[in-house]
Structure 1
Amino acid sequence: MSRTLMVSDVHGCLEPLERLLIEVDYDSSRDRLILLGDYVDKGPRSKEVVERVMNLVEHHGAVALKGNHDQRLVELIRTPHAEVRTKFVEHGGVQTLNSYLNRTDEELSGDMLREAIAVIDATYPSHIRFLASLPYYYEDDRQICVHAGLNPRFADWKSQPAHDFMYIKKEFHEAPTRVAKKVVFGHTRAQELHGSSEIWFGGDKIGIDGGCAYGLQLNCLIEESGSYSTHAVRNPL
């Protein structure tokens, strides 16, 4: 593979993802595509993004990691207790349900939420199995890719809790890593890290979440022969 392309936090924004892949001239015969999680919620086309990611993995050899929003959708369908339902709705889940049910509701009643869970469970079990099966990290010769980050308290980062892979923020951002490779992550918008939606190069770590679902941009970090470059597409809402 001549290039490694890394993209994170698509959040239901299908059109920017497709445009980005075209603009970077993605070719699965020569490029390795790493998707760092959070395919659903907030944006308008979560179902279609999951379908696209499944296709990229199954037919083009892409690597897809699990983000916290992906895990939350799995939990909603498999263990929909009150706390899961509340967090799902509060963090962009209504848009995901609208995507799967072809609706445009801005709010969901309890009955509507139960109906949506039943429909997704019955009609899209392959999506839930796919999201549930995703790995938490990807490592190659040059970098470690993960949705949220590595907990610096663990000498063996692979032994950290699953929750850290999907949720960690400040503790990871503010401390040196304990690994020799760059750690590429999403989850935290680059704007929160350095006041810009451009990719954040933080020494031993690189933050690539451009805040696409917030009307900012979808970033691609491109690694080729040990050097990094970037490309971004805007997503005006």
Structure 2
Amino acid sequence: MNRRLVISDIHGHGESLLELLTTAQYSPEQDQLVLLGDYIHKGPDSLGTLEIVYSLKQQGAWVIRGNHEQDVLDHKRNQLAAPLTERMRQFLLQMPLWKADDQYIYAHAGVRAGVELQNQSITDLTTIRDEFFHSNFPIRGKQIVFGHTLTSRIGAKFGHILWKDDRIGIDTGAGKRLFLSLVDLTNKISYRKRITTGEIDIIHY
């Protein structure tokens, strides 16, 4: 495996996701791609984005569930252009709530300190904020990679990734028509697209 690439909170901007993967020269055979949830709502094409994510999973990407997918499953909101097909509903149901490798723990919103990963609640993994931000980590020496909360609200420069010793926040606001960021964790690079102009920047950390 050459690189670990991760992206979160795509919010219907599937074509932007594909552009960033092309810019980063993503190779399913060589790179591990991790998608951290919130593929739908707010943006231009939720259902099309889900199809893109489905295809990426077929190629080996890890696809994690976010709170917007959970809300659809819980019938709390739909706001999609058409009803979900049964294939897509099963796709949402089968998405794990977290993944881990030898360096990182991946979850949409974060984790609750003091609770084993297998015992974390759906609510915490998809929506936690303050209790996660104000907790001391790491968990077994791993960094936690998460989305859900705009990084500029938790200490990062506007439009930038939050890099800390114990956690990495990557939601740069595509759902608010700001930026969508694909992060190369291996090389500490962010491929960032400005939603309003389509401009792509490559930022080294």
Identify whether the pair has TM-score above 0.5, normalized to the shorter chain. yes
TM-score by length of 1: 0.78
Structure 1: how far apart are the matches of 2:138 and 2:27? Answer: 33
Residue of structure 1 equivalent to 2:73: 74
- SS of the equivalent of 1:209 reads coil
SS in 1 for 2:88: helix
Structure 1: give runs of 5+ residues left out of the alignment. 77-83, 101-119
2:101 equivalent in structure 1: 140
Amino acid in the other structure paired with 2:117: W
Per-residue deviation at 1:158? 2.6
Alignment-derived partner of residue 111 in structure 2: 150
The alpha-carbon deviation at position 233 of structure 1 amounts to 1.2
2: CA distance between counterparts of 1:6 and 1:14? 14
> For 1:131 and 1:43, how far apart are their aligned partners in 2?
18
> Per the alignment, in what secondary structure is the counterpart of residue 188 of structure 1?
coil
Checking the alignment, whether the CA contact within 8 Å between 1:150 and 1:177 is kept in structure 2 is no
Q: Is 1:196 the equivalent of 2:195?
A: no
1:178 Cα deviation after fit: 4.5
Give, in angstroms, the shift of residue 175 of structure 1.
1.4
1:134-159 superposed Cα distances (whole Å, 9 cap, x missing partner): 001111111111100010142x2331
Contact 1:66/1:147, CA 8 A, preserved across alignment: yes
**Residue 63 of structure 2 aligns to which amino acid in structure 1?**
A
Corresponding residue of 1:8: 8
1-side partners of 2:194 and 2:16: how far apart?
7
1:5-31 deviation digits (Å, cap 9, x = unpaired): 000000111221111111111111111
Look up the equivalent residue of 1:136 and give its one-letter code. Answer: L
Aligned residues: 195
1:184 is paired with a residue whose SS is strand
| SS of residue in 2 equivalent to 1:131 | helix
Distance of 1:188 and 1:29 partners within structure 2: 31
Instruction: Assess if the C-alpha contact under 8 Å between 2:36 and 2:107 holds in 1.
Output: yes
Question: Aligned-pair distance for 1:228?
Answer: 2.4
- The structure that has the greater radius of gyration is 1
Show structure 1 runs of 4+ deviating over 6 A. Answer: none
Tell me the equivalent position of 2:57. 57
Aligned residue in 1 for 2:171: 209
1:33 corresponds to: 33
Q: Does structure 2 retain, via aligned residues, the 8 Å contact 1:213–1:235?
A: no
Q: Point out where structure 2 has 5 or more consecutive residues left out of the alignment.
A: 198-205
- Write the letter of the residue equivalent to 2:182: C
Alignment of 1:173 onto 2:133? yes
| Partner residue, 1:80 | none
Deviations 1:17-69 (A, max 9, x none): 111111111111111110000111111100001001111111x1011000000
The question of whether the paired residues in 1 share the 8 Å contact of 2:57 and 2:63 is answered with yes
Q: Once the 2 structures are TM-superposed, how far is the Cα of residue 193 of structure 1 from its aligned partner?
A: 1.3
Distance 2:70 2:111 in 1: 18
Paired with 2:64 and 2:174, the residues of 1 have a C-alpha distance of 18
> 1:182 — aligned with what?
143
- The amino acid across from 2:24 in the alignment is V
**Higher-helix-fraction structure:** 1
